[in-house]
Amino acid sequence: MTTVAPSETIRPASPAPVAKPSLRTPSRVDVAGVDPASEAAASEKTAFDDTVFDDTAFAAELDAVRQSVIDQLGENDAAYIRSIIRRQRRLEMGARAALMFPWLPPVWIAGAVGLGVAKIIDNMEIGHNVMHGQWDWMRDDVIHSTKWDWETHCPGEQWKRTHNESHHMWTNVVGKDHDIGYNIIRMDPNQPWRPYMLGQPVYFVLLGLLFQEGVALHEASSLMQSDRSEDRKTALTRGVEAFKKMARLAAKDYLLFPALALPFGLATAIGVAVGNGIANLIRNVWAFAVIFCGHFPEGVALFTESDIDGETQGQWYRRQVEGSANFTGGRLMDLLSGNLDHQIEHHLFPDLPSNYYSQIAPQVREICARHGVTYRTGSFLSQFGSVVRKTIRLAFPNKVSQQPVQADRGREAAFALGA
C-alpha cells in the first residue's frame, strides 16, 4: 500500500458555499407536532434566530475541526481499520464454527449471537464507513469506496446513491431526502394523515425485523413514487439488482453453509440455517434502532426546499446538526453502532474516519452551544423511546393543537405531490 498525505486526497464533506441569501428562521414546526407559536417552541425557535446566527463563523470553526482531523491521519488510523476488519472476519469464522454444535446450546447460542455481532460490525463500522470514502486517503486496493461492497442485501452502488449522494446532501429536506420514514412511516405531522397510517406501529416493527430488505428496496421504492416513466423503469432495474443480491446472500446463509454442515447430520445443517437466520435478525433490528435513534427522535428538525434556497456552507452545517441526534453508550457502543452514536459528527463530516467522531464531539458541541445551534443527545434508550412514542402518535390524525402552521404548507404540498 502506498500512503499519501491525507490532506491531498480526502474530499470535501459538504457542498461548496453559494451566494448568501437573506437570512431567515427555517419555516418548520418541531417534529413533535407542537405549534411554533407555543411558548415552548418559541424558546427553541429563538435559538435558531438567523439574526444572531453567524453562519460564516460557524462554518469556519467546523472547518477547522475537520482540518485538525485530516492533519492527524496516518498509519495508526490505517492500522485501526485493518485491525477491525481482521477481527470481524475472525469473529465471523468462529461464530460460524460454533453453529456446527446445535447439541451444545450454549455454544450454538454464542455462535448465533457472535455471527449477528460480526454482521453488525461488517455493515456499520466497516461497510458503511468505507463506502463513505472515510478510508480512501489510504489508497488501498481493497479498503476503498470504489471497491468495497458489504454483506447486506442493498447493493453498494445503490446505497451510495440513496445514502451518500441523496440523504447526506439533502438531510431532512422533505421531497428530497427519502430516508424520512423510509417511504413507509409518517415522521412529520405536516404529512397528510391517511387511514392506513393506523397500522404504523406494525409497519415499524416489520421494518425493524426486515431492515436489510427494506434498505435494499429503498431506491426502487423511491423511484416508483416519481411521475416520470423513466424513473419507474429505472426502479424496476434497481429492484432486480437488489433481488439478485438478496438471492445470493440468502443462498450463502441458508443453502451453502447448511450444505457444508450436512455431513455432520441433518440436525446440524438445520441448526446452521436457523442460527444464520437469528444472526440476520439481530443485525437488522440493531441497525434499524441505531439509524432511527440518529434521525427521528422528538425535536429533530425537518425542512422545506425553500429553507435551503441559497444555502451557505454554515447553514448546511447547521441543517446537519438540527436534522440529526446523538446517543450515548461508551466505546462498545461506538464500535457496534459504527460510531453512528455520534450521528451529528457523522453528518457534519461523513468522509472523516469514524474513529475520530467521539474525540471531536465535545468540540462540536461547544461550538454549537456558542452559536445557538441545538445539539441533541441522550441515552440510547431515551432516544429510541422517543422514536417509538412519536411513531405511535403520528399513526393518528393531528390533534387540533398540533395542526400544521401556515409556514409549513410547503411541506404539505411536497407530500401531496408524492414527494
pLDDT for position 181: 87
Determine which of 163-172, 279-288, 365-374 has the lowest per-residue pLDDT on average. 163-172
Is 191 inside any structural domain? Answer: no
- Partners of 409 in beta bridges: none
Is 137 inside any structural domain? Answer: yes
Summarised one tens digit per residue, pLDDT across range 76-118 is 999 999 999 999 999 999 999 999 999 999 999 999 999 999 9
Distance of CA 406 to the CA centre of its chain: 30
Determine which of 42-46, 49-53, 131-135, 171-175 has the lowest per-residue pLDDT on average. 42-46
Among the listed residues 180, 167, 98, the one whose alpha carbon sits nearest the alpha carbon of residue 132: 167
Is 185 inside any structural domain? Answer: no
Q: Are 135 and 144 in contact (CB under 8 A)?
A: yes
pLDDT for position 227: 82
pLDDT for position 401: 54
Q: In this model, does residue 412 exceed pLDDT 80?
A: no
Q: How far apart are CA 44 and CA 405, in angstroms?
A: 16
Determine phi and psi for 188, rounding to 5 degrees: -130, 125
Q: In this model, does residue 139 exceed pLDDT 50?
A: yes
Is 57 inside any structural domain? Answer: yes
Q: Which residue has the cell 460564516?
A: 56
Rounded to an integer, the average pLDDT of 378-382 is: 96
DSSP characters over 158-185:
HHIIIIIIIITTSTTBTTT-TTGGGGTS
Q: How many domains does the chain have?
A: 1
pTM: 0.84
Among the listed residues 236, 235, 212, the one whose alpha carbon sits nearest the alpha carbon of residue 222: 235
Q: Which residue has the cell 423510509?
A: 182
Q: Are 211 and 287 in contact (CB under 8 A)?
A: yes
Residue 299: band (very low, low, confident or very high) from pLDDT cuts 50, 70, 90: very high
- Partners of 303 in beta bridges: 173
Residue 332: band (very low, low, confident or very high) from pLDDT cuts 50, 70, 90: very high
Is 189 inside any structural domain? Answer: no
Determine which of 89-103, 275-289, 295-309 has the lowest per-residue pLDDT on average. 295-309
Is 190 inside any structural domain? Answer: no
Q: How far apart are CA 73 and CA 83, in angstroms?
A: 16
pLDDT for position 232: 86
Residue 51: band (very low, low, confident or very high) from pLDDT cuts 50, 70, 90: low
DSSP-based three-state secondary structure for 379:
strand
pLDDT for position 408: 47
Is 172 inside any structural domain? Answer: yes
Rounded to an integer, the average pLDDT of 128-138 is: 96
Summarised one tens digit per residue, pLDDT across range 4-50 is 444 344 443 444 333 333 333 344 433 333 333 333 333 333 334 55
- Provide the residue range defining the domain that includes 174: 6-15+26-180+197-416
Mean pLDDT of the chain: 86
